[in-house]
Amino acid sequence: MLSADWNSWVRENLERGCTPDSLVQVMLARRIDGKEAALAVTQALAAVDGAPTSTGPCWPDRFAFRSANRAIVGDRTLRVIARIERPAAVLLENVLSPQECQYLIALSKQQMRPSTVVSPDTGEIAMIEARSSEGAWFVRGHDATIAAIETRLAELMRVPVEHGEGLQVLHYRAGGEYRPHYDYFPPEQSGSAPHLARGGQRTASLIMYLNNPDAGGETVFPLAGAAFVPRRGNALYFAYCDGLGRLDSSSLHGGAPVAGGEKWIATKWVRQQPYR
């Protein structure tokens, strides 16, 4: 149970206009359990008049997997393996072929760089230990294989190709992880402004698994209590921004430490508007 002090801290800060997301982040940094933090914020929100609505249920308009068991995309049938309601997330099979996975890994090996994150204050790219991986980034339509994959992903995510950021490939060695974070740019952080100016908010992510780690490396949602095991060719799609721009703070997620072998993923993030 969260102490009375923390509960009044949550109430006071919501009344001051702080966003629910930022309060959850502060509590996580103070090592408060994610579920307790989310519960405290949700309960306080219900009691506060005029509080921001960004922790409300958020069904992104383009999320097409609420009840479907499979999706037919181009010439492929993608089976739904698992789904959670909140955040709106679905694990799909057969998004990439084994050959495409191998191709992306081989191409990325030629240009790996240490992975970076966006600094919340300045918006600049920074290296931090929360992301112990290395990555490669490819402009949209980098080559024919990537262009074909991007056409498939646009159909799957129901977002025009032009709204997608370039494909990012990440490699984690044993012990590598990506600590819990949001893929959207928190609007209250000054560092988000330059990113939001270019294509608007991110609305959804697709994490494609390019290999099978021996152990660990799950993609985890600590506030939802969910974990998805990486498996070659599968992809995890989750959405967190609806047509009104409301963000779903339950989409906090991370990459659990790789406990054996290595892990390769490719990520596609999509924006509200065309991204250049």
Instruction: Tell me which residues touch Zn ion (CB under 5 A).
Output: 183
Q: What angle do CA 124, 153, 58 make, to 5 degrees?
A: 70
**Interface region with ligand PD2, contact rule CB under 6 A, candidates 68-76, 82-90, 188-196, 250-258:** 250-258
Tokens of 26: 């502060």
* Residue where the block lists tokens 């009044």: 8
Query: What is the spatial distance between Cα 94 and Cα 100, in angstroms, rounded to a whole number?
Result: 11
* Residue where the block lists tokens 């383009």: 62
Min dist CB 30 to ligand PD2, Å, is 22
Binding of residue 211 to ligand PD2 (CB under 6 A):
no
What is the full DSSP assignment across 14-82?
Answer: HHTT--HHHHHHHHHHTT--HHHHHHHHHHHHHHSTT---TTS----TT---SS-SEEEETTEEEEEEE
State which residue has the least CB distance to Zn ion. 183
Min dist CB 181 to Zn ion, Å, is 6
Tokens of 84: 């959670």
Min dist CB 21 to ligand PD2, Å, is 16
Binding of residue 183 to ligand PD2 (CB under 6 A):
yes
Min dist CB 219 to ligand PD2, Å, is 4
Question: In the Cβ-directed half-sphere of 98, how many Cα atoms lie within 13 Å?
Answer: 1
State which residue has the least CB distance to ligand PD2. 255
Judged by beta carbon, residue 19 or residue 132, the one nearer ligand PD2 is 132
By CB under 6 A, name the one of 11, 253, 268, 271 that touches ligand PD2: 253
Query: What is the spatial distance between Cα 260 and Cα 198, in angstroms, rounded to a whole number?
Result: 38
- Residue 265 touches which of Zn ion, ligand PD2, none (CB < 5 to 8 A by kind)? ligand PD2
Judged by beta carbon, residue 177 or residue 242, the one nearer ligand PD2 is 177
Residues that bind ligand PD2 (CB under 6 A): 178, 183, 205, 207, 219, 253-255, 265, 267
